Chain A
Amino acid sequence: GNSVTQMEGPVTLSEEAFLTINCTYTATGYPSLFWYVQYPGEGLQLLLKATKADDKGSNKGFEATYRKETTSFHLEKGSVQVSDSAVYFCATGPGSARQLTFGSGTQLTVLP
């Protein structure tokens, strides 16, 4: 089946620092890739997605590129803000599966 390996957290950065959260995946078929964000006490929200190799997803200053050759979908942001503090989940699917598979999540804390 599909699987996702995420960079372990927690990650603590100062405001305006550069962010990278690593994500690699294994999947069958032609999966899409997703990043979700979860703020404290809330459900997960779709942050960005990419549906085929070399696609770049972007939203709110965050970017990730679908790299089939390295099976990766690393999340990046050039200058983080305190409001970006949250848990970030990488996900893949469905491909030949019928649901999304999630990584374990990475807790990000941004200090002022």
Chain B
Amino acid sequence: NAGVTQTPKFQVLKTGQSMTLQCAQDMNHNSMYWYRQDPGMGLRLIYYSASEGTTDKGEVPNGYNVSRLNKREFSLRLESAAPSQTSVYFCASSEGAGPQRGYTFGSGTRLTVV
């Protein structure tokens, strides 16, 4: 089915390790987003990309980097993982340069940092 695909679905890292979360969409959407979900805090925006070649910081960007590789793919990198980055990470995409019509979400990556 068309949509947003995230890999991996689960990951355990040791403190200080690095990893990249992958996200790809096949709906020809312009905008892509990375959120983290923590209990009682809803979703918080990490980074977003309004179009290919552009990225902007969201609410909680510290400790993360992103790459908009092409129109389809938007990756999130943790250079030196910390226990505070234990969370569920969601990638989303939207038509146009913004989410006027809402987001389509991936199924998430559950990351544990020990």
Flag whether B98 is at the interface (Cβ < 8 A). Answer: yes
- Whether, in the assembled complex, B48 has its beta carbon less than 8 Å from a beta carbon of chain A, the answer is yes
Judge whether A104 and B40 touch: CB under 8 Å. Answer: yes
A46 and B58 CA atoms in complex are apart in Å by 21
Contact A94 B100 (CB under 8 A): yes
- B45 at interface (Cβ–Cβ under 8 A)? yes
A89 touches B98 (CB 8 A): no
State the interface size on chain B (CB cutoff 8 A).
26
A105 with B99: in contact, given A98-B50, A99-B33, A99-B48 (CB under 8 Å)? Answer: no
B40-75 CB mask vs A (1 if < 8 Å, else 0) is: 111101001010000010100000000000000000
The A-B contact count (CB < 8 A) is 55
The contact size tier of chain A is 20 to 34
Question: Which A residues between 79 and 104 are near B, CB-CB below 8 angstroms?
Answer: 89, 91, 93-94, 98-100, 102-104
A42-B107, A44-B90, A99-B33 known; A105+B42 contact, CB < 8 A: yes
Q: Which 8 A-B pairs have the closest CB atoms?
A: A43-B105, A104-B42, A102-B43, A102-B42, A43-B107, A44-B105, A94-B98, A46-B102
